[in-house]
Structure 1
Amino acid sequence: MTSPADRVRRPRRLLGVGAAAVLVATFGMGAASAPADDDVASKVLFAFADPDINESSGLVARDGVVVTVNDSGDSNRIFTVDPAGGETVGVTRFSGEAVDIEALAPADDGEVWVADIGDNLGRRDTVRVTRVPFGSGERQVPGTGYDLVYPDGAHDAETLLVHPETGRLYVVAKEFIGRLYAAPETLSATEPNELEPVGSVLGIATDGAFLPDGRHLLLRNYGQAAVYTWPDLERLATFALPAQKQGEGLAVAEDGSVLLSSEGVDAEVLRIELPAEVREQLAAAEPTEPAEPSGSPDTDATGGATEGSQADGDSGTSLRDVLLSPWVVGGGLGLLALALLVRAARSTRREH
């Protein structure tokens, strides 16, 4: 015989199962529907040998070395790694307190930009980028930091880009429809630098980089990558990435080699070859002017891009992409499962 206590527990158990169903459906569907890894050729370049590199999130390949940084939770430090064997050959620590470091981008003269731009809860008034030297040996430096502020409220971000010719910085908000923002051409070290919306790009971007020609950029998320023209942000191609434990980092070396990193101790760094059709399009691409966007897109009252601000609907992430994304589809199925379980719980109460 069912006791009154059991009647109370049963709906609660059902709701608990329902909540689990939402998570499983959302993330399980996302993982199951992630693109296959047969679109690109890849090889293991090396594995990080340093146990202190346990959450490689940002990646830069310059001057024959690889520079990486851990995800949030680490201190203000970057690692210089010899790709010949994966050994750490240098660690640079810089002043300040890390909040949520997520990305790196190359700078001139043996330096990188360190991007403390993570904001999972969307609460930060400003985010920060710091210019830091890399190389062999241990060093402690002050670092030159600059605060950035969004024009339309806080955003979580994991991608910092720097144009190879102009040196201008760009941040990509990590959202279902990714948004690319441009920093001022000249940064102020004393006042917040307001970012300017440029356009929509790959959703849930975890890293990216300009190609050496300065006329294309490459963005990645956990399962795929997209190539865009610059400055008009026409999406040339989207392709699947090799499977990784939690692939987040991407670097483009001076010769155009593309490297991918993943979180985890002893994580492998992969070198991939872009799909043949992408290489053909890049080779056939005509130079375009200017090297920078001609202006920001039309925006609505909330600062978002308005209809028609993208090039012929072929750039960025379309509404169809969002609606058909595995995360949205999985989430919808999970919510449906939860609704059915709630209905069953109510029926159980009425019966007793």
Structure 2
Amino acid sequence: MGDVVIRVLAVVAAICLSAVAPAYAAADDGMEKLFTFKDPAITESSGLAVSPTHEGVYYTHNDSSAAPTFYAVDGQGRTRATFQVRGAQARDWEAMAATKDPATGRGVLWFADIGDNLDGAWPNISVYKVMEPRTLTNAALPATRYRFRYADGGRNAEGLMINPKTGRLYVVSKEFAGSVYAAPAKLRTDRVNVLRKVAGAPIMATDAAYAPDGSSYVVRTYFSATLFRPSGETIAKVSMPELKQAESIAYTPDGKALLTGTEGPRSPVYRVPIPAAGRPVTATPSPVRGEEKEESSPSAQAAESGDGGLTAKDVLIWLAAAVTATGVITFLARRTR
């Protein structure tokens, strides 16, 4: 019954959160459905990214219990190509990111096998780096595997983002007191890399992404999205379309809007304009104290202050969810004796 309990907890928490979710400032008018995935093989779209080199192309992959496969999709939701990641595992792929190699101009795709519903069942998690294919034809692609562990113990996570200015990788945990974890500046393939907490994150984060210019990042939850400065300071909270199970978030190439998707067959992808306060800036973001050599990292000061993490209101929400979940689980336990 363990799996049932976990699922019930997630569902009940979502219901409780929706009942008391705060009203967020809406983005500018213009929220629209961009396309719907037409491929019947895309049943649990969990990661979403815009191609760095193929105009009008988007990438996605399915959630857990799937093969290490990703899809290139056009602006009408039609699959242009299907790719296998050679030698990779897909225990619980939850997120992806796309960057561009500054030296070669080639696109780079990152796939995060970071889901862990038991919060520490896996001794380490993995992120796979794949060079973006030059042509959109079905193929098996080689990957570089990086293994990670959290400095403060196992976590469930569904958010992955890469700072386009520094190239640093970040994982965002999915918890009632979520956190942003930074990877080492230089990743190693011959050892397990350590992820260290550098900032708080919104409750139950399901994805994250960095803006193309590095001036901000966004964290998605089941109900909304929050924009942050690289220091971890909150910029704005953005209302999102109502989705069955919001799982993914990405920036448009111009950084002026967000793309968000959900799980399920023939699931939609929406475009949501970013409020003026969170749009790209021309000036270089100011470095955080103590981080002059690495400007665009969420700061430890933000983590200490709890900015973006668990607030008093979040605690009340959590308690409401816990009480309700306990009642539901007790009822299920009696029914299954």
Unaligned residue ranges in structure 2 (runs of 5+):
1-7, 101-105
Give the greater-gyration-radius structure (CA).
1
Show CA shifts across 1:104-159 (max 9, x none).
01132222100000111121111001112345111112211110111111111000
Aligned residue identity for 1:119: D
The whole-number CA distance in structure 1 between the counterparts of 2:186 and 2:11 is 46
Show CA shifts across 1:164-220 (max 9, x none).
111110001111111111111111111111112211121211111111231211111
Distance 1:147 1:26, change over 3 A: closer
The whole-number CA distance in structure 1 between the counterparts of 2:179 and 2:298 is 17
Q: In terms of mean alpha carbon deviation, does 209-218 or 147-156 score higher?
A: 209-218
Asked if residue 76 in structure 1 is aligned to residue 74 in structure 2, the reply is: no
Q: Who is 2:17 aligned against?
A: 30
Distance 1:96 1:333, change over 3 A: closer
Aligned residue identity for 2:296: E
Q: Who is 1:39 aligned against?
A: 26
* TM-superposed deviation, 1:34: 4.3
Structure 1 stretches of 4+ with a deviation exceeding 6 A read 21-24, 336-339
Q: Among the aligned pairs, what percent are the same residue? A: 35
Q: Who is 1:214 aligned against?
A: 214
Say which structure is richer in helix: 1
* TM-superposed deviation, 1:33: 3.7
Distance 1:338 1:213, change over 3 A: closer
Q: Who is 1:348 aligned against?
A: none
Show CA shifts across 1:232-273 (max 9, x none).
211122232110111111111221131001101111110001
SS of match in other structure, 1:107: strand
The whole-number CA distance in structure 1 between the counterparts of 2:200 and 2:146 is 24
Aligned residue identity for 2:89: E
The whole-number CA distance in structure 2 between the counterparts of 1:216 and 1:233 is 9
Asked if residue 142 in structure 1 is aligned to residue 157 in structure 2, the reply is: no
Distance 1:90 1:134, change over 3 A: farther
Distance 1:335 1:140, change over 3 A: closer
Aligned residue identity for 2:73: V
Superposed counterparts of 1:324-335, under 5 Å: 324-325=316-317, 327-333=318-324, 335=326
Distance 1:125 1:271, change over 3 A: same
Distance 1:89 1:294, change over 3 A: closer
Aligned residue identity for 1:159: G
Matching residue within 111, 118, 130 for 1:114: 111
Show CA shifts across 1:80-103 (max 9, x none).
1011x1111111111232111100
Matching residue within 41, 50, 56 for 2:45: 56
TM-score normalized by the length of structure 2: 0.81
Q: Who is 2:121 aligned against?
A: 123
Distance 1:294 1:50, change over 3 A: closer
SS of match in other structure, 2:46: strand
Asked if residue 292 in structure 1 is aligned to residue 281 in structure 2, the reply is: no
Matching residue within 88, 92, 98 for 2:83: 92
Matched residue count:
305
The whole-number CA distance in structure 1 between the counterparts of 2:285 and 2:268 is 35
* TM-superposed deviation, 1:53: 0.7
Unaligned residue ranges in structure 1 (runs of 5+):
1-20, 299-304, 346-352
The whole-number CA distance in structure 2 between the counterparts of 1:288 and 1:38 is 26
Distance 1:186 1:70, change over 3 A: same
SS of match in other structure, 1:258: strand
* TM-superposed deviation, 1:330: 3.4
Q: Who is 1:253 aligned against?
A: 252
* TM-superposed deviation, 1:276: 4.8
Q: Who is 1:228 aligned against?
A: 228
SS of match in other structure, 2:31: strand
Distance 1:328 1:237, change over 3 A: farther
Q: CA RMSD in A?
A: 2.9
Q: In terms of mean alpha carbon deviation, does 33-42 or 52-61 score higher?
A: 33-42
8 Å CA contact 2:48–2:61 kept in 1: the answer is: yes
* TM-superposed deviation, 1:338: 8.8
Show CA shifts across 1:30-62 (max 9, x none).
344446798234101110010111101111012
The whole-number CA distance in structure 2 between the counterparts of 1:132 and 1:23 is 32
The whole-number CA distance in structure 2 between the counterparts of 1:24 and 1:189 is 37
Distance 1:266 1:149, change over 3 A: same
8 Å CA contact 1:90–1:134 kept in 2: the answer is: no
Distance 1:99 1:247, change over 3 A: same
8 Å CA contact 1:252–1:258 kept in 2: the answer is: yes
> With CA pairs under 8 Å and 6+ residues apart, which has the higher RCO, 1 or 2?
1
TM-score normalized by the length of structure 1: 0.78
